[in-house]
A and B are shown apart, each in its own frame.
Chain A
Amino acid sequence: MSLLSLDQVTLRFGGVVAVNNVSLSVNEGEVFGLVGPNGAGKSTVFNLISRFYDPAEGSISFDGKNILKLGSDKVPSLGVARTFQNIELFEHATVLQNLLVGRHRHRKTNMLSEIFFTPAARKEERRHREAVEEVIDFLDLQPYRDKMIAGLPYGVRKVVELGRALASEPKLLLLDEPASGLSVEETQDMAYWIEDIQKQMGITVLMVEHDMGLVSSVCNRVLALNDGKELTTGTPAEVQSHPAVVEAYLGTDGISKT
Chain B
Amino acid sequence: MSGAAAPAMAAMLDRFCPMHVVIGPTGHVIGGGPTLTKIVAPEPMIGRRFLELFELTRPRAVQGVAALRALDGARLRLRLRSRPRYALKGQLCLLAPENAGGTGGAMVVNLAFGISVVDAVRDYGLSGADFAVTDLATEMLYLLEAKTLAMEESRRLNRRLEGARLAAQEQALTDTLTGLRNRRAFDALLAQAVQEGGTFALLHLDLDFFKQVNDTHGHAAGDLVLRVAARRMLSVVRARDVIARVGGDEFVLLLPGIDATGTVETVARRLVAALEEPVSDGTLTCRVSASIGATLSRDDPGRAPGEIMDAADRALYAAKAAGRGCHRLHVARDAAPPGGGPVPPGLQDAGDAGGGQCAGIACSAGADQKVGICQDADTGPRAGGAVDAVSGGDGVAPGEGTSTWQVAGAQGAAMRSR
* A, B from the same assembly: no
Give the interface of A toward B (CB within 8 A).
none
